[in-house]
Amino acid sequence: MDTFEAIKATFFQECDELLADLETKLLDLESGAADDETINAVFRAVHSVKGGAGAFGLEALVRFAHVFETLLDELRAGRKPCDELTVRTLLRASDVLADHVAAAQGTGPEVEEARSAALVAELEVLTHGEGGSPAPDEAEDDFGFQPVAFDLPSLDLPSLDLPSPDAPGAPAAGGWRIVFRPHGRMYVNANETGLLLRELGRLGPLEVELDDSAVPMLDRLQPEENELVWTIRLTAPVDEAAVREVFDFVEGDCDLRIEPIAGEGPELPPLIETPDAPADDIDISALLAKVQDEPAAAVTPAAPATSAPAAAAPAASATAPTASSPPAAAAPATIRVDLERVDRLINVVGELVIQQAMLAQRVTESGLARSSGISVGLEDLELLTREIQDSVMAIRAQPVKSVFQRMPRLVREVAEMTGKRVRLVTEGEATEVDKTVVERLAEPITHMLRNAIDHGLETPEERTAAGKPSEGTVRLAALHRSGRIVIEISDDGRGINRERVRGIAVSKGLIAEDAALTDDEIDNLIFLPGFSTADAVSDISGRGVGMDVVRRSIQSLGGRISISSNPGKGSTFTLSLPLTLAVLDGMALGAAEQTLVAPLSAIVESLTPKAEDVHYVGGHDAVIRFREAFVPLVDVARTMGFRDAPVPPGQGVAVVVETESGARAALMVDAIHGQRQVVIKSLETNYQQVEGVAAATILGDGRVALILDVDALVANARRRPAAADLKLAS
């Protein structure tokens, strides 16, 4: 059923967000950056996953989430301490929960029963204490309600202990009357009244009254609309916020009224009949509870009757939202859009840019004066087009957070495997970059993080011996720098062992034994193909992938990678990538009647060499002197096969470029046409891969221009091992 599948797909999308939020909040708890609201948010995330999963009958997921949620409920009520061990277990539980979600979605393997069960056992020990038995019957049936009492025998100490320290709204002495009418949409959004009632039942004894008077006869019934109204009496002196929280996720999808029962409110609802429940006993005992509780709560919020554990003690209850204002009201207005539609829009805008450039060219060719109405209008159009293009690109821009937030788990797992203690610090998660770039960042970052922990960090013992804290720190940061995104991965480990790297490079024949290399050059040897050695390949960072592969995947994105290392202090890998793969700032170059585009980011400068500046090595390899060094001269038209004869000496322009690996060369062309922004058209998708060409674009005159793959072009022309530059001191 299409609608159902669509709802399910939405559920999984939401799961992704919830799981990400869950992990973020748990990490806050771990780092001590949490506030009172954190544990509530954690609870809500797990609870929502469970709720949706229940609606779709995902039993394994529901069962696991249930146990997880039960512990969280204890924690948020302050009945269990939220200590370091607990948080670590919660983090691992969030990993397993994510695996369950992936398995349910079909994007991951089935979760190993033993692994899930082991964690369930751990969670239950934390919930019920060692040897404690779990609450009966709960986990078996996701919709199996706790038998909620109609009489109120259970209004004894446990429920009086409930005023949760996390929510500062005034507890109502006699409890709360909740009038609840779900909208049909609430069910469509995978929420269920039964679950809400059960959640309410957790707060205290319930009396549930169902008003079905508005339900029409069957022939007029809209099965997806709801006419039922529930009036619920919750007889526990809990805060209003705690009650509202139950309805957090259905707000907007229901009519909801929450009023204190004990007559503090000015009037009772006219709509609702007062149920003839034996209310007297409750009110008195609850009132007593309130009288005892309230002054204490008002003066020292940290001293409710229960032994509040340090971690869960509310440090500043004043910062919590006021009880009457429903939370989550200020959620940003967003819509979900099929990515295909966005891509189509981007393509169309790309065409628009090209069309606009063509139009401009035609106008210029027609010889109209620059001050003519058409020319002026065209300039405005150009500005507008540029603005549209920027706006469309902004739609596709995504914070790198989606990649970064997968990393804490990886770090935990690698740390566990290597027996190292690692703290991951992330910075700049909000840094935005084009979606296509974000997607392709995950793999190199993953590999480099593994590498940093496995090879970079020392064992706790080694660290202690070296006078460092036993826990190593790995920092993952993103920032914008001169129109590119920069990702830094640094560790405070041992740094690169240059002796060893050099030794390996020599033994592999990558460098000559007597090669004089700077520290930087030695560090960069690890990126050479064939450097990765058998003894460097371990379970964790090995996986048959060397740093050369990482570098290649970065380069295929138009990026570059570099490393700096400080022995004993750690290493930093720096990736720098273009913000988008859809447009490129380039320099249009002319070579043998053809127009070519070189990425602006690769160009260092241009010069017009005189005949005597060009030298030949070995009779044919031309080099040109450039700032105290000689760089190879690449005749573009010849290399690309446009013509056989080289540019005659003393003519043409040399454009000095720097490859992603830092090597320089001079591209010899006939002329420079000027800088322009071009829309990238993939050559692979539309034709096939061509050596030396990264992609194509369409120019203002409608002709196709090739975008040069500077790296390949230079490497091709040099035909030398990619070691160091030719450094010929003059």
Residue ranges binding other proteins (CB under 8 A): 1, 4, 55, 57, 141-145, 147-148, 182, 184, 187-188, 192-194, 197-198, 201, 208-210, 212, 215-219, 221, 223-224, 226-228, 230
Crossing angle of helices 407-418/435-451, nearest 10°? Answer: 20
Q: Residue 220 or residue 336: which is nearer to other proteins going by CB?
A: 220
Tokens standing for residue 565: 């290392």
Q: Are strands 472-481 and 422-427 parallel, antiparallel or unpaired?
A: parallel
For the chain, the maximum distance between any two Cα atoms, rounded to a whole number of angstroms, is: 108
CA 290, CA 292: separation in Å to the nearest integer?
5
Unique residue bearing structure tokens 């060893």 = 500
Q: How far is the CB of 47 from other proteins (least distance, A)?
A: 17
- Percentages (nearest 5) of helix, strand, coil residues in the chain: 45, 20, 35
Unique residue bearing structure tokens 């240059």 = 498
Q: Residue 140 or residue 416: which is nearer to other proteins going by CB?
A: 140
Within 189-338, residue ranges assigned H as helices are 193-203, 240-246, 279-299
Q: How far is the CB of 587 from other proteins (least distance, A)?
A: 59
Q: How far is the CB of 283 from other proteins (least distance, A)?
A: 21
Q: Residue 210 or residue 394: which is nearer to other proteins going by CB?
A: 210
Crossing angle of helices 59-76/113-128, nearest 10°? Answer: 20
CA 263, CA 110: separation in Å to the nearest integer?
53
CA 91, CA 117: separation in Å to the nearest integer?
16
Q: How far is the CB of 286 from other proteins (least distance, A)?
A: 22
Cβ(486)–Cβ(479) below 8 Å? yes
Q: Residue 217 or residue 310: which is nearer to other proteins going by CB?
A: 217
For residue 102, give the amino acid letter.
A
Q: Residue 198 or residue 420: which is nearer to other proteins going by CB?
A: 198
Q: Residue 12 or residue 531: which is nearer to other proteins going by CB?
A: 12
Q: How far is the CB of 442 from other proteins (least distance, A)?
A: 35
Q: Residue 275 or residue 529: which is nearer to other proteins going by CB?
A: 275
Cβ(632)–Cβ(666) below 8 Å? yes
Cβ(40)–Cβ(245) below 8 Å? yes
Q: Residue 96 or residue 256: which is nearer to other proteins going by CB?
A: 256
Q: How far is the CB of 250 from other proteins (least distance, A)?
A: 11
Q: How far is the CB of 335 from other proteins (least distance, A)?
A: 23
- How many CA atoms does the CB half-sphere of 511 hold within 13 Å? 24
Q: Residue 56 or residue 531: which is nearer to other proteins going by CB?
A: 56
Q: How far is the CB of 328 from other proteins (least distance, A)?
A: 22
Crossing angle of helices 59-76/36-55, nearest 10°? Answer: 160
Unique residue bearing structure tokens 């369950």 = 100
Q: How far is the CB of 4 from other proteins (least distance, A)?
A: 6
CA 80, CA 93: separation in Å to the nearest integer?
17
Q: How far is the CB of 187 from other proteins (least distance, A)?
A: 5
Q: Residue 5 or residue 593: which is nearer to other proteins going by CB?
A: 5
CA 576, CA 252: separation in Å to the nearest integer?
44
CA 160, CA 293: separation in Å to the nearest integer?
9
Tokens standing for residue 337: 């859009």
Q: Residue 12 or residue 145: which is nearer to other proteins going by CB?
A: 145
278 C-beta neighbours (distance < 10 Å), count: 8
397 C-beta neighbours (distance < 10 Å), count: 16
The helix/strand/coil state of 585 is: strand
Q: Residue 225 or residue 605: which is nearer to other proteins going by CB?
A: 225
Q: How far is the CB of 221 from other proteins (least distance, A)?
A: 5
Interacting residues of 584 by C-beta distance below 8 A, sequence separation 6+: 578, 597, 599, 600, 677, 678, 680, 697, 707
- The Cα angle at residue 397 between residues 252 and 21, in degrees rounded to 5: 45
Q: Residue 145 or residue 642: which is nearer to other proteins going by CB?
A: 145
Q: Are strands 229-234 and 671-679 parallel, antiparallel or unpaired?
A: unpaired
Q: Residue 221 or residue 328: which is nearer to other proteins going by CB?
A: 221
Of 113, 130, 112, nearest to 122 by C-alpha is: 130
Q: What are the residues facing 670 on neighbouring strands? A: none
Q: Residue 230 or residue 626: which is nearer to other proteins going by CB?
A: 230
Q: Residue 4 or residue 616: which is nearer to other proteins going by CB?
A: 4
Q: How far is the CB of 354 from other proteins (least distance, A)?
A: 48
Unique residue bearing structure tokens 């988008």 = 580
Classify 71 in phi/psi space as left (phi over 0), alpha (psi -120 to 50) or beta.
alpha
Q: How far is the CB of 268 from other proteins (least distance, A)?
A: 19
Q: How far is the CB of 211 from other proteins (least distance, A)?
A: 9
Q: How far is the CB of 18 from other proteins (least distance, A)?
A: 20
CA 239, CA 294: separation in Å to the nearest integer?
11
Q: How far is the CB of 17 from other proteins (least distance, A)?
A: 22
Hey, which bits of 661-703 come out as E strands? 664-669, 671-679, 693-698
Cβ(688)–Cβ(363) below 8 Å? no
